[in-house]
């Protein structure tokens, strides 16, 4: 197996004296998907926020390229590699195309490269037909696809995707993840 991109060790977190996470270890490998599931309130969101650098743990270490540091020191380089996709994505008040293109303005791509990249991403996501539509007028499912594509186009090393799979079977969840991770 490839070397892990990131290893999180001994994550601990309490809220108001009640321990939510204790001794959590997690390794993230290139090209691999991890499904984190569990009952409401067990700490999934808290864990994802900690490993995305959005919530401060009481304790945690991060190993990057074989070097281990405390969470506070290592988290800056972690944040650059990660996109955290919320389960209720917010659409910018513009077309699908412009939503998908949004993050590219912060990259070194020129206008032509950005255009090509957007076309490729829209095609990949099956959004070409709705490219000129106002994103907020689309269904929740399509908006989620736009949000995913808006993240995918930036090619983050790690993508955290919060999702609700209310009554889905494990095999359906797996199919869904395989589809999106191609």
Question: Which residues would be at the binding site for ligand ADP (CB under 6 A)?
Answer: 15, 20, 38, 40-46
Whole-number minimum distance, CB 138 to ligand ADP, in Å? 27
Residue 147: phi, psi to the nearest 5?
-65, -40
Report CA 126 to chain centroid distance, whole Å. 20
| 163 touches Mg ion by CB under 5 A | no
Closest CB to ligand ADP among residues 43, 89: 43
Nearest residue (CB) to Mg ion, 39 versus 76: 39
Cβ distance to Mg ion smaller for residue 40 or 171: 40
Minimum distance of ligand ADP from residue 122's CB (angstroms):
32
Tell me the closest approach of the beta carbon of residue 44 to ligand ADP, in angstroms. Answer: 3
In angstroms, rounded to a whole number, what is the distance separating the alpha carbons of residues 67 and 74? Answer: 9
Q: Which does 57 bind (CB under 5 to 8 A by kind): Mg ion, ligand ADP, none?
A: none
Q: How far apart are CA 31 and CA 156, in angstroms?
A: 11
Decide whether 45 or 77 has the Cβ nearer to Mg ion. Answer: 45
Please state the closest distance from residue 20 (CB atom) to ligand ADP, in A: 5
User: Restricting to residues 39-58, which ones interact with Mg ion according to CB under 5 A?
Assistant: 44-45
Q: Among 21-29, 36-44, 61-69, 135-143, which window interacts with Mg ion (CB under 5 A)?
A: 36-44
Bridge partners of residue 158, in order along the sequence? 82
CB of 111 to Mg ion, least distance (A): 39
> Angle 67-72-74 (CA atoms, 0-180°, nearest 5)?
30
Question: At 65, is the secondary structure helix, strand, or coil?
Answer: coil
Cβ–Cβ under 8 Å, residues 13 and 43: yes
How far is residue 26's CA from residue 19's CA, in Å, rounded to a whole number? 18
DSSP 89: P
Q: 44 or 133, CB closer to Mg ion?
A: 44
58/17 Cα distance (integer angstroms): 11
Task: State the residues that interact with Mg ion by CB under 5 A.
Answer: 44-45
């Amino acid at each position: 197996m490839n070397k892990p991109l990131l290893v999180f060790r001994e994550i601990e977190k309490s809220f108001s004296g009640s321990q939510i996470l204790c001794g959590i270890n997690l390794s993230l490998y290139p090209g691999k998907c991890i499904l984190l599931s569990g009952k409401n309130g067990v700490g999934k969101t808290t864990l994802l926020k900690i490993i995305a650098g959005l919530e401060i743990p009481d304790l945690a270490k991060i190993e990057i390229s074989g070097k281990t540091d405390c969470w506070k020191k290592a988290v800056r380089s972690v944040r650059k590699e990660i996109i955290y996709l919320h389960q209720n994505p917010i659409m910018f008040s513009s077309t699908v195309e412009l939503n998908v293109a949004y993050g590219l303005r912060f990259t070194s791509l020129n206008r032509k490269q950005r255009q090509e990249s957007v076309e490729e991403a829209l095609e990949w996501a099956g959004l070409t037909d709705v490219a000129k539509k106002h994103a907020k007028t689309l269904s929740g499912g399509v908006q989620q696809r736009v949000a995913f594509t808006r993240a995918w186009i930036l090619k983050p090393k790690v993508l955290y995707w919060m999702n609700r799979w209310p009554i889905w079977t494990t095999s359906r969840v797996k199919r869904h993840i395989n589809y999106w991770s191609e």
